Amino acid sequence: MIRVTLPAQLRKLAQVDGEVKLEVAGRVTQQAVLDALEARYPMLRGTIRDQVTQKRRAFVRFFACQQDLSHEPPDAPLPDAVATGVEAFMVVGAIAGG
Partner 1 sequence: MSGLRLLVGTRKGAFILTADGKRNKWNISGPHFAGWEMYHLKGSPADPNRIYASQSSGWFGQIIQRSDDGGKTWHQPGTPPGEPTTTPEGMPKAESNKFVYDTSSETGKPLTTHQWYDGTPHPWEFKRVWHLEPSLTDPDTVYAGVEDAALFRSTDGAKTWHELPGLRGHGSGSSWAPGAGGMCLHTILLDPSNANRIFIAISSAGAFRTDDAGKSWQPINRGLHSLHIPNPTAEVGHCVHRIAMHRSRPGVLFMQKHWDVMRSNDAGESWQEVSGNLPTDFGFVIDVHAHEPETVYVVPIKSDSEHFPPDGKLRVYRSRSGGNEWEPLTKGLPQRNCYVNVLRDAMAVDSLDKCGVYFGTTGGQVYASADAGDSWAPIAQHLPAAVSVEVQVLP
Nearer to partner 1, 63 or 79 (CB): 63
Interacting positions 11-50 with partner 1 (CB under 8 A): 13, 38-48, 50
Is residue 4 within 8 Å of 20, Cβ to Cβ? yes
Least Å from the CB of residue 75 to partner 1: 20
DSSP string, 1-38: -EEEE--HHHHHHHT--S-EEE---SS-BHHHHHHHHH
Whole-number Å distance between alpha carbons of 74 and 35: 11
- The reply on whether position 68 binds partner 1 by CB under 8 A is no
Residues that bind partner 1 (CB under 8 A): 7-10, 13, 38-48, 50-52, 57, 59-60, 93-94, 96
